[in-house]
Structure 1
Amino acid sequence: MPAPVIGLTGGIATGKSTASNYFKKLGITIVDADTIARQVVAPNSFGLEKIKAHFGSQIVLDNGELNRAELRKLIFSNESEKLWLNNLLHPVIRQEILEQLNAANGPYVILDAPLLFENNLDKLCEKTLLVDIPEELQIMRGSERDGVNKQQIKQIIAAQMPRSIKLKKADYVIDNALSLDNTYAQVMAIHQKLSNK
């Protein structure tokens, strides 16, 4: 029987990757939705070939990789192009996620997805886990980490599901506003709960 799936999510700069790395150190398989999303548009992939056929060769860089900045420009203000891209990539990404989840062993497997709730990936999960910090801290950490202005971080936060709704939807919440030791202790407590089922 496949391992139970635990969805791990968190907004920008909440420390989701930190929590994910702690679970990995505990020997838990991580299925990373972002990594899969990059793989399906890797050079010479089915996804990238379809994108090139649709948008033209300027969408591919000289090294054969997807020109993400160009693609963002093309879909940012064009809802129908954005929809076309989502209809192409979401089923491919979902299929790969399912295959990796089904292949995982252990007491449980983590599906690490920043847009877990937004993309309805929580439907694949037995339980969900939100890494959370107050929004002011999120804005501060995000602008420091990514070297972008606070306004851009605010826009990214505004485009995601509101924190209040995510807090209601999550089965477990890791408060990452304190020390890394504190975060690790919370991960350990959840790990023990999930392992002792």
Structure 2
Amino acid sequence: MFKVGLSGGIGCGKTTVSKLFTELNVPVVDADDIAHKLVKPGQPALLDIAKAFGNKVFNPDGSLSRQYLREIVFSDLQQKQKLEAILHPLVFASIQEKVNKLATPYCIVSIPLLFETHMSHLVDRILVIDCPVKIQIERVKRRDGLADARIQSIINSQVSREFRMAHADDVIDNSNTDGSGLAENVKKLHNLYLSISASLG
């Protein structure tokens, strides 16, 4: 199975690009979706997080308080690493399991923190969605209502645009505010990936 890793900074448009690949009947294995399912009430990972960070990580209904956890991990690198040590092995085992069940020419593996988690070896090719930092901040502010300083701190915790571009096999520039050209770019890459996959036999 030929695996294309999809990555990009916060607010660059990874979800939109994933949907466009889905519309072309390409399976998308999404690390964020997997992580969300792993921390649902009753899941072992949620109990491990509570053991590591205390019961304040729970909302009154027993679900994970993402906001509380976000506050902890973004202000303390050690706490962030502690959370990653719990979740990342489970997420990547689940990705592998899902990919192994697929029978399509290729699949997209969406891992927003592909470089930060040193997991680029899981995929055969890397597609990065890119846009200027100013546009990232505008989009995330509109989507999540976060303050500029918080968005900037998230951006600062990720690898730089330059790093991503230097390590990408393919790049989609998603600077246009109306998203024009995205579908066309995705279709071109789809044809390229089909061709690569066919050449691999």
TM-score, normalising length: structure 1: 0.91
For each residue in 1:130-176, what CA deviation from the matched residue of structure 2 results, as whole angstroms up to 9, or x when unmatched?
Answer: 01112222222222232223232222211110000100100000111
Helix, strand or coil at the partner of 1:180: coil
Equivalent residue in structure 2 for 1:20, among 18, 21, 24: 18
Distance 1:156 1:129, change over 3 A: same
CA distance in 2: counterparts of 1:17 and 1:145, whole angstroms: 13
Asked if 1:44 corresponds to 2:42, the answer is yes
Aligned residues: 195
Asked if 1:147 corresponds to 2:160, the answer is no
| Residue 63 of structure 1, CA deviation | 1.7
| Residue 121 of structure 1, CA deviation | 2.1
Distance 1:146 1:100, change over 3 A: same
Asked if 1:58 corresponds to 2:56, the answer is yes
| Residue 64 of structure 1, CA deviation | 1.9
Q: Is the 8 A contact 1:29 1:105 kept in 2?
A: no
Look up the match of 1:10: 8
Look up the match of 1:116: 114
**Percent of aligned pairs sharing the same letter:** 35
For each residue in 1:30-81, what CA deviation from the matched residue of structure 2 results, as whole angstroms up to 9, or x when unmatched?
Answer: 1000011111111100111122233333322222211223333444444444
With 49-58 and 175-184 compared, the bigger mean Cα shift is at 49-58
CA distance in 2: counterparts of 1:154 and 1:167, whole angstroms: 19
For each residue in 1:107-128, what CA deviation from the matched residue of structure 2 results, as whole angstroms up to 9, or x when unmatched?
Answer: 1111111111111221111100
Asked if 1:185 corresponds to 2:166, the answer is no
Helix, strand or coil at the partner of 1:137: helix
Distance 1:133 1:84, change over 3 A: closer
Gaps of 5+ in 2: 197-201
CA distance in 1: counterparts of 2:77 and 2:174, whole angstroms: 35
Distance 1:83 1:176, change over 3 A: closer
Look up the match of 2:90: 92
Helix, strand or coil at the partner of 2:112: coil
Distance 1:78 1:162, change over 3 A: closer
Letter of the 1:5 counterpart: K
Q: Is the 8 A contact 1:42 1:65 kept in 2?
A: yes
CA distance in 2: counterparts of 1:168 and 1:59, whole angstroms: 37
Letter of the 2:98 counterpart: Q
RMSD between aligned residues: 1.7
Gaps of 5+ in 1: none
TM-score, normalising length: structure 2: 0.89
Letter of the 1:102 counterpart: N
Letter of the 2:89 counterpart: P
